Chain A
Amino acid sequence: MKRYLREERVEMRVNGETRSAVVAPGETLLHVLRRRLGLTGTKLGCENGDCGACTVWRDGVPVKSCCTLAVDVLDAAITTIEGLCDTPTQRAFIAENGFQCGFCTPGFILNAEALARAHPDADEDTVREWLESNICRCTGYEGIERAVRRRLKNPE
């Protein structure tokens, strides 16, 4: 049985690299990404599982890093917004002005890109079900929805 008894140095797979960090057993993945690894693209919003600003991928699946312990994902590949570069979803968000202040954008992009990879032919219900996980406080939902539709139509 693996035991994490105190703060210790661990290795994590983040954005395709092996990173080393000192992590306490009770530390959230959100905290470790931002404070220990300097990956501040992952946003701290409600810290309660409600807003989706802290979304990252655990082995390609979106999860909320504020509700996840870092020591719980040492066996997984983590992807943050810094790990996505010029993806079709990012291009679609730019083309459709899918952001205003941009605070929610990393979470939406990670969620939308995972959706498009898992369900390239996603119907309206599937898109609605996935996007419900993220809140945009600027209420720019129309641009975001247009961007997601554009991404689904233009996978390249």
Chain B
Amino acid sequence: MIASDVVYLQAESVDEAVTAWHEYAESGRAVRYFSGGTEIVTGARHRDDVDVLIDVKRIPELTRVPGGGARPLTDTLFVGAAARLSDLADQEAVPLLAAAARGVADRTARNSITFGGNLCSVLPYRETALPLLLFDATLVLASLDGLRGVPARECFRRRLQLRPGELVVGADLPAVARETGYSARRTRDPRVDYPLVTLCMACLGGSVRFAVAGAYGYPVRSLEAEQVLAAAAREEPRARAERAVAAIEDRLWDDFRGSAAYRRELLLLVLAEGLSRLEDA
């Protein structure tokens, strides 16, 4: 249950959603975009911090799934922010996005949770951000000034850097995002659980790239770590993984699910495994 005086709107276009956000915000109300709604609805049991919800999942552009067709005249794959994670898990055009989506929550929850909701989540995991960071995707954002494209690595500094009222329309992935790559997810509970480590990895043009969620308090891709991997190309996978992880400046996460040392060890294991697999391939 959300507070009984909350207002709920169903936007049918990007313009309608963005305009409504500003209209209500200017009258001093707390406005949120509402997509799958799972985080907002469950969060409302603990907090009462929303007056107006603008549902965006009936906006046609926001529901597109890759493989539903590359955008005309461009070589990219577009993923709409209101695409449901179960649909992303079932699509085959971007295998690493399918794998990331499949890891989140459980099947029934993924029938509601959306890509944009996962990217904007207050929780630290945001696993579907990993393929965006890995493949240098462009986030498409809408405001009263129109649309702007921002490279995922620029926009995703710890969390999505959105301006007030900005709507995530979706993400444009380059054609290389069709690469299979390697992914791994390690949890404490073998059933449904938040990740201790989720790794998303690919070898593009001879260079290995990787992005990680769960191990740090937010999704991370480190170019320094990738350079270290490339420079140590002759060493064993485990030794290279150790050098690469040491080059990541962010602090490993430490909580009741797993200590920083445990998360580091799991990260080293999956990273070394990924290096072996990609190089064998």
With contact pairs A1-B11, A68-B41, A72-B55 given, residues A28 and B109 touching in the complex (Cβ less than 8 Å): no
Which residues 56-113 in A have Cβ within 8 Å of B in the complex?
58, 61-64, 66-69, 71-72, 111
A72 in contact with B1 given A49-B105, A133-B107 (CB within 8 Å)? no
Q: Contact: B44 with A61, CB < 8 Å? A: no
Distance to closest chain B CB from A151 (angstroms): 17
State whether A1 and B12 are in contact (beta carbons under 8 Å apart), knowing that A47-B45, A49-B109 are contacts in the complex: yes
Q: Say yes or no: B44 contacts A63, CB within 8 Å.
A: no
* Docked complex Cα distance between A25 and B108 (Å): 23
B192-217 vs A: 1/0 string, CB under 8 Å? 10000000000000000000000000
B142-176 vs A: 1/0 string, CB under 8 Å? 00000000000000000000000000000000000
Cβ of A37 to closest chain B Cβ, rounded Å:
16
Residue B236 lies at the interface, judged by CB distance under 8 Å to chain A: no
B111 contacts A1, C-beta separation under 8 Å: no
Total of A-B residue pairs, C-beta within 8 Å: 98
Q: In the bound complex, do residue B9 and residue A2 qualify as a contact, i.e. CB atoms below 8 Å apart?
A: yes
In whole angstroms, how far apart are the Cα atoms of A62 and B10 in the complex? Answer: 22
Number of A positions contacting B (CB below 8 A): 36
Asked if residues A6 and B42 are in contact (CB atoms below 8 Å), the reply is: no
Task: Establish whether residues A111 and B44, one from each chain, have CB atoms under 8 Å apart when the complex forms.
Answer: no
- Supposing A1-B11, A7-B4, A26-B6 touch, asked if A69 and B111 sit within 8 A by C-beta, the answer is no
| Interface membership of B2, Cβ < 8 A | yes
Distance in Å from the Cβ of B19 to the closest Cβ of chain A? Answer: 9
Instruction: Give the CA-CA distance A32 to B24 in the complex, in Å.
Output: 27
Q: Name the distance in Å between A148's Cβ and chain B's nearest Cβ.
A: 14
Q: Are A4 and B41 in contact (CB under 8 A)?
A: no
B228 within 8 A of partner (CB) = no
Q: List 30 A-B contacts (CB under 8 A).
A: A1-B9, A1-B10, A1-B11, A1-B16, A4-B8, A6-B5, A7-B4, A25-B7, A25-B8, A25-B53, A26-B3, A28-B1, A28-B41, A31-B1, A48-B42, A49-B38, A61-B111, A64-B38, A67-B36, A67-B37, A67-B38, A67-B112, A72-B8, A72-B37, A72-B55, A129-B107, A132-B106, A132-B107, A133-B106, A133-B192
B interface list, Cβ under 8 A from A: 1-12, 16, 20, 34, 36-38, 41-42, 44-45, 53, 55, 102, 105-109, 111-112, 191-192
Taking Cβ atoms with an 8 Å cutoff, the residues of A that contact B are 1-7, 24-28, 31, 47-50, 52, 55, 58, 61-64, 66-69, 71-72, 111, 129-130, 132-134
- 8 A-B pairs with the lowest CB-CB distances in the bound complex, closest first: A26-B2, A133-B108, A25-B8, A133-B106, A67-B38, A26-B6, A2-B10, A4-B8
